[in-house]
């Protein structure tokens, strides 16, 4: 899922996680400072999980309305995509 969000291959994400774990193990100052900055960015941009869900829902509604697709077609597309994502998650590293 992280790879999909970041637009990166799963191997790149796994490597990045390992590198970051190593940096955290040695308490690298630059890594800790960067993480603090990213935490503030995510809090500012997404707020709580509810805020992210609401933002996603609004964007999804807009896309569905603008597409002009019938309800049954949209439902089938969403189900198929959710199944694809579920399969990807089962094959990826959990965080």
Under a CB-based contact definition with an 8 Å cutoff, are residues 48 and 41 in contact? no
pTM value is 0.41
Name the average pLDDT for the chain.
80
pLDDT in tens, 13-51: 889 889 989 999 999 998 888 888 888 877 777 666 556
Q: What's the distance, CA 64 to chain centroid?
A: 21
pLDDT for 89 beyond 90: no
- Rounded CA separation 70/72 (Å): 6
Under a CB-based contact definition with an 8 Å cutoff, are residues 1 and 86 in contact? no
The mean pLDDT of 42-63, rounded to a whole number, is 74
């Amino acid at each position: 899922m992280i790879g999909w969000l970041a637009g990166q291959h799963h191997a790149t994400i796994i490597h990045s996680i390992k590198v970051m774990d190593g940096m955290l193990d040695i308490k690298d100052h630059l890594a800790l400072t960067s993480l603090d900055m990213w935490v503030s960015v995510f809090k500012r941009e997404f707020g709580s999980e509810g805020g992210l869900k609401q933002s996603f829902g609004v964007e999804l509604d807009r896309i569905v309305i603008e597409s002009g697709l019938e309800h049954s077609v949209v439902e089938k597309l969403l189900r198929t995509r959710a199944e694809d994502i579920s399969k990807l998650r089962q094959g990826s590293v959990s965080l």
